[in-house]
């Protein structure tokens, strides 16, 4: 068995020397990353209606805000971005009624097959359909968008660091590039975008670009908030149910744990008494 320890000594020294040999190598001078210097982290926004919102225990969405966000999506974003994981029927969560959902669905053309010729065709959407893709595939998207790919927005809030705040900051984050930074032709400077150069032109350029049906003051700040919250919902449509269930589960488990603790103390009472 002392052979094991001898072998261990050998193996241990081998790995130690090998890794420390790397540690003592001189490092290349660190070239400061200009992107890192200019990149800005998204700032937190207040977007909650009642409760404490995304991070709260019982936060709920503001239905009016979700509907406004949907309006922003429909009038602006949907020109290039799909929300293909969302079905029209899901809009019931936003407070739309069944006839309203039918009308919204019917205003979209979804891919289908001509039942006489079998050729690809389109038909009016139904509540069961999902929001159609804007471009049939990536190649078509890039061809139409000067080489850029507008991502599907269904999951964008969960797929980006900062989530809701990121969308809000990015939408209104366009700025003039500092002198040290050159923006290639056809791209725009946005310090909240990971590479700083974004292909999307400023989507919400001016106040009063959208006329809100609910009469909310039409400002760029409001657009950015509303679309960010709407996309939070598309990414996590079960958020409210999750928190509701969670609160009940945690309260129940606390009661069960409390009873469990008392039972545990009772069971052990005589052993502890004997020991003490």
Partner 1 sequence: MSFPWAKQYQPTTEIGKFFDKQLPLPRFVYGALGAGYPTPKNLNYFYNFGVLAGVALVIQIITGVVLGMHYAANTTVAFDSVEHIMRDVNGGWMLRYMHAVGASFFFGVVYVHIFRGLYYGSYKPPREVLWMLGLVIFLLMMATAFMGYVLVWGQMSFWGATVITGLFSAIPVVGSYIQTLLLGGFSPDNATLNRFFSLHYLLPFVIFGVIILHVWALHIPGSNNPTGIAVKTEADTVPFHPYYTAKDFFGLGVYLTLFAAVVFFAPNALGEVDNYIPANPLSTPAHIVPEWYFWPFYAILRAFTVDFFFIPAKLMGVLAMFAAILLLFFLPWLDTSPVRSNSYRPLNRILFWVFVVVALVLGVAGGKPAEEPWVRLSQVFTAYYFAHFLIIIPLVSRFEKTKPLPRSISEAVLAKYGNSAPGVAAQPAE
Partner 2 sequence: MATETRPLDAQLPVEGERRRDFLYVATASVAAVGAGAVVWPLINQMNPSADVLALASIDLDLSAVQPGQAVKVSWRGKPVFARHLTPEEIASANKVDVASLRDPQSLADRTKPGNAQWLITLGVCTHLGCVPLGAGEGEVRGDFGGYFCPCHGSHYDTAARVRKGPAPKNLEVPAYVFKTPTSVTIG
Stretch that binds partner 2, among 64-72, 168-176, 192-200, 260-268 (CB under 8 A): 260-268
Contact partner at residue 29 from partner 1, partner 2, none, CB < 5 to 8 Å by partner kind: none
Per-residue binding string, partner 1, 25-64, x by CB under 8 A, is x-x--x--------------------------x-------
Q: How far is the CB of 86 from partner 2 (least distance, A)?
A: 12
Residue 109: CB atoms within 10 Å: 12
Q: Cα 143 vs. chain centroid, distance in angstroms?
A: 26
Stretch that binds partner 2, among 42-50, 58-66, 205-213, 257-265 (CB under 8 A): 257-265
Residue 259 found at the interface with partner 2 (CB under 8 A): yes
CA angle, residues 152, 205, 74, in degrees to nearest 5: 40
How many whole angstroms separate alpha carbon 198 and alpha carbon 90? 31
Given a contact cutoff of 8 angstroms between Cβ atoms, the answer to whether 158 and 236 are in contact is: yes
- Rounding to the nearest 10 degrees, give the CA dihedral for residues 235, 240, 243, 245: -120
Stretch that binds partner 2, among 15-23, 188-196, 214-222, 251-259 (CB under 8 A): 251-259
Residue 274 found at the interface with partner 1 (CB under 8 A): yes
Residue 79 found at the interface with partner 2 (CB under 8 A): no
How many whole angstroms separate alpha carbon 255 and alpha carbon 59? 23
- Rounding to the nearest 10 degrees, give the CA dihedral for residues 110, 115, 116, 119: 50
Per-residue binding string, partner 1, 57-96, x by CB under 8 A, is x---------------------------x----x------
User: Nearest to residue 176, comparing CAs of 158, 197, 195, 190?
Assistant: 190
Residues 82-101 that bind partner 2 (CB under 8 A): 87, 89
Q: How far is the CB of 133 from partner 1 (least distance, A)?
A: 13
- Of 127, 151, 162, 202, which one interacts with partner 2 (CB under 8 A)? 127
- Of 266, 272, 273, 274, which one interacts with partner 2 (CB under 8 A)? 266
Helix, strand or coil for residue 58? coil
Rg of the chain taking only CA atoms, in angstroms: 28
Tokens in use for 32? 């400061």
How many whole angstroms separate alpha carbon 188 and alpha carbon 198? 5
Per-residue binding string, partner 1, 217-256, x by CB under 8 A, is ------------------x-xx--xxx-xxx-xx--xx-x
Given a contact cutoff of 8 angstroms between Cβ atoms, the answer to whether 88 and 105 are in contact is: yes
Contact residues for partner 2 (CB under 8 A)? 87, 89, 115, 127-128, 252-253, 255-256, 259-260, 262-263, 266
């Amino acid at each position: 068995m002392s052979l094991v320890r001898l072998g261990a000594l050998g193996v241990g020294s081998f790995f130690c020397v090998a890794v420390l040999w790397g540690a003592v190598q001189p490092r290349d001078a660190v070239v400061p990353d200009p992107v890192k210097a200019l990149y800005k982290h998204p700032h937190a926004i207040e977007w909650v209606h009642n409760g404490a919102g995304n991070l709260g225990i019982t936060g709920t969405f503001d239905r009016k805000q979700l509907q406004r966000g949907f309006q922003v999506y429909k009038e602006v974003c949907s020109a290039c971005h799909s929300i293909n994981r969302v079905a029209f029927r899901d809009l019931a969560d936003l407070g739309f009624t069944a006839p309203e959902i039918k009308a919204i669905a019917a205003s979209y053309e979804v891919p289908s097959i001509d039942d006489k010729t079998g050729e690809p065709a389109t038909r009016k959407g139904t509540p069961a359909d999902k929001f159609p893709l804007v471009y049939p595939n990536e190649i078509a998207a890039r061809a139409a968008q000067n080489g850029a790919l507008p991502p599907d927005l269904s999951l964008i809030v969960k797929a980006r660091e900062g989530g809701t705040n990121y969308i809000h900051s990015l939408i209104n984050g366009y700025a003039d590039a500092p002198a040290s930074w050159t923006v290639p032709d056809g791209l725009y400077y946005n310090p909240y975008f990971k590479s700083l150069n974004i292909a999307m032109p400023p989507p919400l350029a001016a106040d009063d670009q959208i006329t809100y049906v609910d009469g909310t003051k039409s400002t760029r700040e409001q657009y950015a908030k509303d679309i960010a919250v709407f996309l939070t919902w598309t990414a996590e449509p079960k958020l409210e149910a999750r928190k509701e269930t969670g609160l009940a589960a945690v309260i129940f488990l606390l009661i069960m744990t409390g009873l469990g603790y008392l039972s545990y103390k009772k069971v052990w009472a005589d052993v502890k008494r004997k020991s003490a």
